Amino acid sequence: MTYHALCPRFLRATAGAFIAGVLMLAAGQPAMAESQHIDAAPAIDSAPSSFWDALDATPQNAWSQLRKSFAWDINALPPDARARVDKWIARYRQSPQNIASITREAKPWLAWIIQQVNARDLPGEIALLPFIESSFDPAARSHRGAAGLWQFMPRTGDALGLLRNGRYDGRLDVTASTQAALGYIESQAERWYGGDIALSLAAYNAGAGTVNKARRRAQRQGRGSDYWSLDLPGETMQYLPKLYAIAEIIGHPERYSVRLPDIGAAPAFAEIALDRPITLTRLSRRLDISSQRLAKLNPGALQNTLSPRDGSVLLVPREANRRTLTALAGADDSPAQATHRVESGDSLTAIAMRYDVSTRDLMRWNAIEQPRTLQPGQLLTLTDG
C-alpha cells in the first residue's frame, strides 16, 4: 500500500464558488434536524475507565487552549439576552454529571476540533457546538435523519460533498464532517451576514431562509436584525443561549462545580491517507489494536472497510501511528493479494462491496456462473490472477 501520514492540521480545502453554490442549494433548510439535548445525556456511573480513557494524553491541557480561543463576552450581552443565557447556566448546573459525561465523550475529538476552529480564526466557542448537537457522539442520529457529530441532514451533507453510500457515510466521519460544518458556518457568515457568526449559527440550526425571513420581519417592525432581536423557532431561540452557557461553564468550571476530564492539547489520533481499500479488522490484528478501537475512530466506515474511492481517511490512535506506518509499509491490504473465505449468509454483492471490487469481476476471477452457488467455506480470490 502506498500511503502518507497527514499532519494533525489536515484540511480539506473547499473552493469559494463551490461553497457559494452549496449555500444557495441548502439555504431553505437547516443543516441539522434537532439537537441531542444535554438534559437527555446519561449520567456518569462508577464503571471502570471507558475505551476513550485509554487514549494517550499529553501533560498539556486542551481546555486551556480552548479558553484562550474564546471570543464571546457574556457580560456584554443585553439584559434580556443575558437572562436567556443565565436560564441555561442554571439548568446545566442542576446536572453537572451530565456535563462531565459529555465532555468525556469529547476526549478523542476536542483537541483536533480546536485546532481546526483556530485555523479558520473562528470563535473558540464553536468547538463546543457538538456538545449541543450530538453530545459529542459521532454516531448520533435523530429521528428526522440528521446524523453525526454535527448532525447534518442528508440533503445538506450531500450538498457539502459528504459522500454517502452503502459502505461509507461522510456525515459520521469526524474529520470530513467537521471541515464541512466549519466551512458551512464560515461561508454563511461571510456571504449573507457580514461576518456575523451568531446569525450564521442560527441559520445552521433553522435554515438561512428562516433566519432571513425573521430579519426582514424585524426590520419592518423597526427592531434590530441581530440574532438576539429576532423571533425565531423555539429551538433556534435557545441555540446560542445554550452555547454561551456551556462556554461559560467550561471557562469557569470551579465556579460551577464541574469537574472536566483531562484532555491533552495534542489530537488523540493520527490521520493516514489511503490509496487502496483497507479492512479495519485485518488492520487491527496487524497492529494489535482492538477492532472496536479502530471502529470508534472511524465511524464513517459502515462495512468495516475504508476506501480512497470514498475520500475517506484512516484514523488511528496517535500513539499507534509509527507502528501503523511500519505495518502498512510491510504489507499490502489491497485485493491484489487478498482472499475471502465465504461464511454463512455471505452474498457476492456484499463481498464485492466489502472489498471495493465489482460483482462481475468477482464472478469472473472465481469462475462463478451463478451467484447463488456460493458455499460456506469456499475460498474466493479477490484479484485477477
Q: Name the residue type at position 234.
A: G
**CA–CA dist 158, 171 (Å, integer):** 9
In this structure, what are the phi and psi dihedrals at residue 169, rounded to the nearest 5 degrees?
-130, 110
Name the residue among 84, 32, 38 with its Cα closest to residue 206.
Answer: 32
Q: How far apart, in Å, are the Cα atoms of 272 and each of 275, 286, 321, 322?
A: 10, 16, 9, 11
**CA–CA dist 35, 38 (Å, integer):** 9
Residues 210-228 as b/e (b if ≥16 CB within 10 A, e otherwise) read bbbebbeebeeeeeebebe
For residues 261 and 103, the answer to whether their CB atoms sit within 8 Å is yes
For residues 63 and 260, the answer to whether their CB atoms sit within 8 Å is yes
In this structure, what C-alpha cell is assigned to residue 369?
Answer: 456462473
**CA–CA dist 113, 175 (Å, integer):** 8
Residues with a catalytic annotation lie at: 133
**CA–CA dist 204, 33 (Å, integer):** 10
**CA–CA dist 179, 24 (Å, integer):** 19
**CA–CA dist 183, 133 (Å, integer):** 17
For residues 140 and 171, the answer to whether their CB atoms sit within 8 Å is no
**CA–CA dist 148, 171 (Å, integer):** 5
> In DSSP terms, which residues pair with 317 in a beta bridge?
269
Q: How far apart, in Å, are the Cα atoms of 367 and each of 42, 351, 354, 370, 374?
A: 53, 16, 20, 9, 11
